[in-house]
A and B are shown apart, each in its own frame.
Chain A
Amino acid sequence: MVGQGVACSRRHLMVLLGMMMTAPEIGRASVAHRPRGQRAACRTTIAALMLTLVLCSPRVAAQPACGPPGLQQLAPVAWGFDLENTRLAKKSTISRGNIGRLTLKWVYGLATDQPRSMPLVSGDTMFVGDGGRGIVALDRESGCERWRAPLDSEVGSSISFAREAGGKEVRLVVAMRDEGIFALNARDGEAGWFSKPGDNPVPLYSGSPLVHNNVVYVPGSSLEIALSLNPFYGCCETSGGMSAISVEDGAVLWHRRTIPGLPKVTGRRLLFIETHGPSGAPVWGAPTLDRKRGLLFFGTGQNYSHPASATSDAIFALNTSDGSVAWLRQFTANDAYNLACNAGGPNCPDPVGPDIDFGAPPVLVTLPGSRDLLIAGQKSGDVHAMDPQTGDVVWQRKLGRGGALGGIHWGMAAHSQKGILVVPMSDLYAGDLTGVGDARPGVHALDLETGRTLWSHPASARCPDRVCWGGFSAAISLSPELVFAGTLDGMLHVLDLQTGELLWSHDSWRNFDAINGVPTSGGAFDAHGPLLVDDLLIVSSGYGSFSQRPGNALLVFQIGAGESADE
């Protein structure tokens, strides 16, 4: 759990008490002139004070050399750059005209080889989820560490924020994946409230929280997908969910389970172990907010056990006021899968489903004719365009063979005014859970109005030098003129938004000389994908979750920057 400002624990205090009782030989020189008994007492006191300072010091390691962070011009407002998850950075100044001058500015070595936390950027600072080191505030120009807030678990989300009354102070809101949601002061990293919303005893907060109007919307997944590997586990009984909590104190405003009813005992094996269902339908993608209709959209994953529910592999629309369901549309029924299926364990559902969740957040767009569409991309490789008011399907396209690792995995992007939807396709082989049909890894642009293909940029394989799959699993991003997309074999591409022409590439499949001195290497581009702020392109390279090449490189590119960070 996040510490409440200090690291002092009961164990530390016991050690302290022991010190006081045993009079250690510390501080000899400074107390040598005192009588023996008095010296011993004094030494004890000094030692105790020193230990107190060490153990009970605030959990924020300040770096005064870099100064405190500025909190103006914070971006992005959400994982999808905006509340509608278009992943269009409207204010990005990276354009077709200057893309040739985009070069590496500096590289930071993260403390994880599967980073999945997207930074938050102010006018002079980057707030970064740094694996097991917690959250760090880095100087935007130099990468110098302004402060570090140690955490007990890795950050698994983008870093959201809310301005406090008066607008000067900023509260960062972050999901610690297997712990909960916590807030901290952006000025110095001091810990604030902690919240663990939902009714799941083994929650997994994989999706990024969305902050709007003093409410934090928190997606909920479940550790049960992995607990199912234990053959003595009676899979499965938890439900995914969405919670709304107060940005002021983390109090839960409402919680909506994605499986409405409670699980029932569905069977028994080895005489004692009771199995349960329905379960699953986790939410591990960021939600999408429709301010006009007061709706919150999100996709769900598969069931973990049978009987399958009518809410898995579905798009939900909740009323933001109370979390009630406005509409719900399931696109794949009877999809039950958990990790026991990979290991041949007894908890694997029979029949096993294809595991084709909605991980990519739905994208809400307004077409040039003022018509709104909600567009969802599925791991099956399908794109579904819906009426956001009713959930009725307007058009559908299948762009790849899909599978458990996508298909459309982490996130699409859209430019409403230009009427273009850009879809990254992974189509990575996933064993028995590989989809059917021909693989079409690449980036595909569709007409938002009709779903017609405008252009396609096929992925290229670079065998035998590296993994032979250049699919696009990571979320992609747009500037007003360009598409930024990373491949599973470590290439970062920039394409022309109108034509798909390849304009710029960077190979991150190598070692880097990081500014923080940490051994740093790039790998697969996956998860949250590139972030665009002003003339910066920020992206982490490496993601070792599912046999992709791991890596820990946080790459910061800038228009006109030198290549000095290269090895």
Chain B
Amino acid sequence: MSDRTLAGRGRRLAATVIDLVLVVITGFALLLVTGALEDAEDYASSYFYLRIPALGVAAWLLLNGAPLWRRGQSIGKLILGIRIVRLDGDLPGPLVHLGRAFFFLLLYASATPLGVLALIDHVLILRADRRCLHDLLLRTEVVRTDAGEQASAEGG
């Protein structure tokens, strides 16, 4: 896999923004369909607010579970033509995706103290190898899906 080309920072940012928006929209759709916060009874427990992150996780899984498992791509990465790979170039397993999902969901908590962790995570994209904290911890990187074609074109 020596012809891998690292994804640009702009593409990664755009893919993340797309995923953030899509998860929110899907979360609201789930909220609507499940009626999770529709009745007074739903608020009776002191922990009713935990339904909100639970809906977010469900929305993320619904949207990105299959494409990540099969292609290493979330919807945003699919649109932007980039994918997640292990350092050896293979597709990551589900545990790696769950680990990355944790950092992704941290972005929704940017206004809380957890936001510091999200900030540190994403500032590391400025490294030469463009690997964020979650890439370093999970031994992944993000590459362009058209790298092979690009290399061929350049070679030809």
Chain A interface residues toward B at CB < 8 A: 200-202, 222-224, 227, 230, 232-234, 236-238, 270-274
Contacts and interface: CB of A to CB of B under 8 A. Distances in A.
B35 A273 contact: yes
B123 to A, nearest CB: 34
B35 A272 contact: yes
A201 B32 contact: no
Contacts of A232: 28, 31-32, 37-38
21 contacts: A200-B40, A201-B40, A201-B41, A201-B44, A202-B40, A202-B43, A202-B44, A223-B43, A224-B40, A230-B37, A233-B37, A234-B35, A234-B38, A234-B39, A236-B40, A237-B40, A270-B32, A271-B32, A272-B33, A273-B32, A273-B38
A273 B33 CA distance: 8
Contact of B40 (A238, A272, A274): A238
Q: How large is the interface on B (under 10, 10 to 19, 20 to 34, 35 or more residues)?
A: 10 to 19
A232 B35 CA distance: 8
Nearest to A230: B37
Contacts, number: 38
A273 B38 CA distance: 7
Contacts of B41: 201
Nearest to A279: B40
6 closest residue pairs by CB, A with B: A201-B44, A234-B38, A201-B40, A202-B40, A201-B41, A202-B43
B44 A233 contact: no
Contacts of B38: 232-234, 272-274
A168 B44 CA distance: 38
Given A201-B44, A202-B44, A272 B32 contact: yes
Contacts of B33: 272
A235 to B, nearest CB: 9
Nearest to A1: B46
Nearest to B32: A272
A272 B39 CA distance: 12
A222 B41 CA distance: 12
Given A232-B28, A232-B31, A270-B32, A237 B37 contact: no
Contacts of A222: 40
B94 to A, nearest CB: 30
A428 to B, nearest CB: 30
A347 to B, nearest CB: 11
Interface string B28-67: 1001110101111101100000000000000000000000
A234 B41 CA distance: 11
A230 B31 CA distance: 11
Contacts of A200: 40
Nearest to B31: A232
Contacts of B35: 234, 272-273
